[in-house]
Amino acid sequence: MNFIISSTTLLKHLQNISGVLSTSNSLPILDNFLFEIIGNQLTVSASDLETTMRTSFPVEANEEGKIAIPAKLLLDVLKNLPDQPCTFLVDKTNYSVEIAYDNGKSKMVGYNGDDFPRVPTIEKSSKINVAGELISKAINKTLFATGNDDLRPVMSGVFCQFSPQDITFVATDAHKLVRYRRTDSKATGSSSFILPKKPLNLLKSNLHGDEDVELEYNESNAIFSFKDIVLVCRLIDGKYPNYEAVIPKENPNVLTIDRAQFLSSIKRVSIFANKTTHQIKLKLAGSELSLSAEDLDFNNEANERLTCNYDGDDMEIGFNSRFLMEMLNNLDTTEVRLEMSEPSRAGLLMPAVNDNKDEDVLMLVMPVMLNR
């Protein structure tokens, strides 16, 4: 089984899927890339059992076959080679792999390709085509709000909900919540599942926004296919909390403010906040917003005043400054709106004006009780 391929082409494809490789694999075979040749098409796969990613591209080959090649070693060789054709000579009897290039060759020992775990086939699946731009935007807007609690695995992923009206992505860690909804993409039936963080990060780094993604899913797995990449992942099992129930409906106190100004003010004031609570106080009265933070342990404090557009009763409310900064960084409009009902209930942050009528972004942040 011999084949010829350009070193940079191969490196580019391997780097696209190398994010799947885990440093702590239970099976040694998973530290390898699986190379499979059918006709003149080479398919390379990487897996950690939960997530598998594969990419296919044409090569010059003289016979079909498969072999597992050590991933780290191969990547290190290719990274240090200038662009040139590489000839791979694979001996199927002892699984040795020789890579010949312009001024030399390197040899390594691979493994039997048949030992590599098989990708699960999806039965009773549903399919939907979604724009790559929509998926990458949804991931960017929601991923930061996912939780890290091992006791509540459902919260460590992003909840995806498809309906004939819209597609909704939700992430929460019980302190903050993001709901991203798009009405310009619809499914035929209604269904929902929870996608884990790792495949979402892999999609984020491989989607460039100009491709269409075919998504196929059933109860336990999801397959994303776009360009020359296929990503298969196991879904998180469990019931997602009823997120609609925690979004307060009546929020008469509305603050509209310049996003960049608000964000830089929070950044400065939060330097003086308590290092465990990161608490920052918002005091609203008339058309003035006062931001303050204090750290009683070190006698540090800061306060700033901003002009804003505020409609509602005078109030004081505390928030975790890190959550507010993350949310403001993930909104891209000039002005934002913060809707509140009372100091003990969640605040809702959203764009003041929606540039895209098909897009609905809502971010919820729980308050921090103020020390009186």
Asked if 191 and 135 sit in the same domain, the reply is yes
Residue ranges of the chain with per-residue pLDDT less than 50:
none
Asked if 164 and 199 sit in the same domain, the reply is yes
**What pLDDT score was predicted for residue 372?**
57
Look at the block and give the residue holding tokens 């972004």: 361
Q: Which of 185, 213, 244 marks a domain boundary?
A: 244
Asked if 100 and 131 sit in the same domain, the reply is no
Asked if 16 and 98 sit in the same domain, the reply is yes
Question: Is 121 among the domain residues?
Answer: no
Look at the block and give the residue holding tokens 């992003």: 158
Task: Give bridge partners of residue 2 from the DSSP assignment.
Answer: 89
Question: Is 205 among the domain residues?
Answer: yes
Q: What is the CATH number of the domain that holds 149?
A: 3.10.150.10
Residue 155, phi then psi, degrees to nearest 5: -80, -5
User: Which domain does 40 fall in, by range?
Assistant: 2-115
Asked if 135 and 225 sit in the same domain, the reply is yes
Bridging pattern class, strands 279-285 and 288-295: antiparallel
Residue 344's contacts (CB-CB under 8 Å, 6 or more residues apart) are 367, 369
Asked if 209 and 276 sit in the same domain, the reply is no
Question: Is 323 among the domain residues?
Answer: yes
Asked if 361 and 302 sit in the same domain, the reply is yes
How many separate domains does the chain show? 3
Asked if 160 and 63 sit in the same domain, the reply is no
Asked if 189 and 205 sit in the same domain, the reply is yes
**What pLDDT score was predicted for residue 347?**
97
Asked if 41 and 101 sit in the same domain, the reply is yes
Contact by Cβ (8 Å): 58, 115: no
Asked if 274 and 351 sit in the same domain, the reply is yes
Q: Which of 115, 140, 170 marks a domain boundary?
A: 115
Q: Which of 244, 273, 308 marks a domain boundary?
A: 244
Asked if 238 and 268 sit in the same domain, the reply is no
- What b/e readout covers 190-218, taking b as 16+ CB neighbours within 10 angstroms? eeebbbbbbbbebbeebbeeebebebbbb
Q: Considering only CA atoms, which of 210, 178, 166 is closest in space to residue 331? A: 178
Question: Is 372 among the domain residues?
Answer: no
